[in-house]
Amino acid sequence: MHCAKYTKDESCDLKCLAAKALEQIDRRHYTFGLEGSVLCIGLAHRGKSVEAMWEMK
């Protein structure tokens, strides 16, 4: 399961956006109905810069 966030704002912290993407997965229950271990990935990018965070559910 993944969720991506994009920004053009240079002052925006990509790590923070990646964390918000993970929060969105929880808040919107994107893993509902999935069985077993689920790897959730939050991605944030600006141009060619990217940050990723993940957690097992």
Convert the pLDDT of each residue in 13-36 to its tens digit. 999 999 999 999 999 999 999 999
Contact 1, 26 (CB under 8 A): no
pLDDT score of 2 more than 70: no
Phi/psi of residue 2, nearest 5 degrees: -140, 155
The reported pLDDT for the residue numbered 1 is 61
- H helix count then E strand count, the chain: 1, 3
User: What is the overall mean pLDDT for the chain?
Assistant: 91
Give the separation between CA 9 and CA 20, rounded to whole angstroms.
16
Q: Which domain holds residue 6?
A: 2-56
Q: Which residue has the higher pLDDT, 43 or 6?
A: 43
- Domain tally, the chain: 1
- Check residue 28 and give its pLDDT: 96
